[in-house]
Amino acid sequence: MKKMLFVTDLYYPAKGRNYYEEDLYLTSQLREDFDLIICHPEDIESFEDVVDLIVFRNAGPVANFKEKYQAFRKRIVDKQLNTYNSFNGKADMNGKEYLLELTNVNFPVIPTIDSVENVKFLPEVEHFIVKPKDGADSIGMKRITKEELPNEIDNEQHSILVQPFIPFEYEVSFYFIDKDYQYALYAPDKDKRWELKEYTPTEQDLSFAQKFINWNNIDYGIQRVDACRTPSGELLLVELEDLNPYLSLLELSPKTRAEFIQNMKESLINALSLNYLG
């Protein structure tokens, strides 16, 4: 039986979510097929050499342990550590810089800039959202007026992202294993982001989400495409979580949850086999 290091911060105080509930359920399912070690994200180095695969799950914002995270990323390359997700993504695992790139290539994303001189490229709105490039879980995010922008933008280090505040009908998330769609959830009440219900996507919705999965092109792992539905019916990307997306597994129907667990197990086996062959 292959040995896995399951990385999680069980008691990180995430807004509207209990990491321990999801990860204790997930590990209870994975232990049927794999030999598991559970550890805190700051303790990875103590165990990484005795496992076949490192599964990076609900670890909380990596900005909270930035130096250890960067050291871990370096060891992945230096020691050829096998990880799940694979760390060759272009999205949240590297911060929020990708939102600028996607804006510049005209992907359906909330327009994003990081300098004062580019404010003119944003839509004319009364309010803006500013957030740090290395942020997560809404840490450091603020809603401000146009007059406040010059004092909020970091025009030297370009460490702050600016987006127009866009009214939306609801947020919806699409979940993928590798490049395969699994399920979707949405928040009917836009003021309650984590009170989710299952969502049946249209073909157009799936095409929207798949476009970002194909762009990111990680080798294997779980990704969540977060989007908002505008009043005109358009979907715009909020973020592409390719590091350790919260899965809301316990909000799913038993059938959908069981299918996801089985597909994840098959993906993990594939990740292990690719490493063995490599």
Question: What CATH superfamily classification does 170-241 receive?
Answer: ATP-grasp fold, B domain (3.30.470.20)
pLDDT digits (tens, 9 = 90+) for 171-214: 999 999 999 999 999 999 888 888 899 999 999 999 999 999 99
Contacts of 89 (CB under 8 A, 6+ apart): 216, 218, 221, 223, 242, 243
Six-digit token string for 18: 């209990």
CATH code for the domain defined by 3-84+249-277: 3.40.50
- List the domain boundaries for the chain: 3-84+249-277, 111-164, 170-241
- Check residue 277 and give its pLDDT: 42
pLDDT digits (tens, 9 = 90+) for 266-278: 999 999 987 644 4
Q: pTM here? A: 0.94
- Check residue 70 and give its pLDDT: 95
- Domain 3-84+249-277 shares a fold with domain 170-241: no
pLDDT digits (tens, 9 = 90+) for 99-140: 999 999 999 999 999 887 888 888 888 888 888 877 666 667
DSSP string, 209-251: HHHHHHHH--SS-EEEEEEEE-TTS-EEEEEEE-SS----GGG
Average pLDDT, the chain: 91
